[in-house]
Amino acid sequence: MDIIFDLDGTLWDSSETVLRAWNEVFEKNNLPIISKDDLEGVMGLDMSDILKQLQPSANENILDEMTEYEYRYLKKYKGKLYKNMINTIKNLSKEHRLFIVSNCDVGYIDLFLELNELKEYFTDYLCWGDTKTPKGETIKTLMDKNNIVKTCYVGDTLGDKNAADYAEIPFIYTRYGFGEVEEYNYYIDTIRDVENHIKNLEHIITPQELWGKFIDKNPKYKNVELPESYYFCDNKKDADNLAELVKIGVKTATSSLYCLYELEQEKLPKSDDLAIITDFEGNAVAIISNSKVEIIKFSEVTEELASREGEGDKSLQYWRKVHIDIFTKWLKEFNMDFDESMEIVYENFEVLFTGDELLWGFRK
């Protein structure tokens, strides 16, 4: 599989050098100097947003001067490489294509590779300066450009995690970097640890991979965009179990609170919508298509409807218990109480394709 890396907080730490360079520019332009904590607090943002956070009164024209000074200082003082980074990159490049996506300006990645003599080990790279798009979109652009199907993103901030989610790829969190992230597929405390997790991820069928094989066998879908991928519930045990029930045809329906779509500004599902069901770790299990979508009151759910969801003993009593619990939990985030008169979105679906149908299919 291919590996996409973030740069700052993942492969090196250039914050001290960048801090000196930018503060010289700020002093020159009669702007307040910043601290290292200030700088680390904006790591992961694109350059335009960084300036807005650090110097809200400054004109964006100053960005070119910041970049000029930053590169001049880096050529002289460099950045701090994380332990074992160079050897890890060299080892990984023997079996994997390596890439970089960063929210930096044009030239920054080139400078990093040049200063550390690493350019030969990376296949390609893109940055905010190239695309002027959010990081998740930049990752997708890089993937399309290089025909990347199975990959992951290695980064250190919540923005990196959100970018990986947007691109629908696994996220490896570098705990030694600048940010704090609570949800991730794997974490590492040293760059060398990424090698172990890549071995695990190689046994995951990504949504892109499953979708590609589905299109090969069903060419009428070739112009359809990659569907949304998701897992059920909020824990590994239930998510993995329900994904398996979908795959074997036991679970043929799911339900959610109608009001949450409005609160979270999401579109309501409709008939013929496609989705990719994954397990908790992002392994694509099945492609489903909605056959019917109904809006009904929670209190109107029958034994038959409860049975279609395939959970527990498939009884209405079990369905009511687990859904009251989860709906109550979700509504607390909006300071709302659950009421059985609330409407739910009840989706009936059918399985179109499963991971077991891949010629090289494997599961963890």
Helix (H, G, I), strand (E, B) or coil at 284: strand
Per DSSP bridges, beta strands 274-278 and 253-257 are unpaired
Residues 6 or more apart whose CB falls under 8 angstroms from that of 349 comprise 252, 253, 254, 275, 288, 289, 290, 291
DSSP state of 119: G
SS3 content of the chain, % helix, strand, coil (to 5): 45, 20, 40
> Can you give the C-alpha Rg of the chain in angstroms?
24
Q: Which fold has domain 207-357?
A: Sulfate adenylyltransferase (3.10.400)
Boundaries of every domain in the chain: 3-9+80-201, 13-77, 207-357
So what's the architecture of 13-77 in CATH? Orthogonal Bundle (1.10)
> What is the tens place of the pLDDT at every residue in 91-114?
999 999 999 999 999 999 999 999
Question: Which strands form 98-102's sheet, in the order they lie side by side?
Answer: 124-127, 98-102, 3-5, 153-155, 171-174, 186-188
Read off the pLDDT of each residue in 2-20 and give the average, rounded to a whole number: 95
* pLDDT given at position 41: 86
Domain 3-9+80-201 and domain 13-77 have a common topology: no
Read off the pLDDT of each residue in 334-348 and give the average, rounded to a whole number: 96
Q: State yes or no: pLDDT of 125 exceeds 50.
A: yes
Query: Which residue would you say has higher pLDDT here, 59 or 121?
Result: 121
| 204/361 Cα distance (integer angstroms) | 9
> What is the tens place of the pLDDT at every residue in 247-296?
999 999 999 999 999 999 999 999 999 999 999 888 899 999 999 999 99
> What is the tens place of the pLDDT at every residue in 198-231?
887 877 788 988 999 999 999 999 999 999 999 9
Q: State yes or no: pLDDT of 43 exceeds 90.
A: no
| CATH no., domain 3-9+80-201 | 3.40.50.1000
pTM attached to this predicted model? 0.64
> What is the tens place of the pLDDT at every residue in 220-261?
999 999 999 999 988 889 999 999 999 999 999 999 999 999
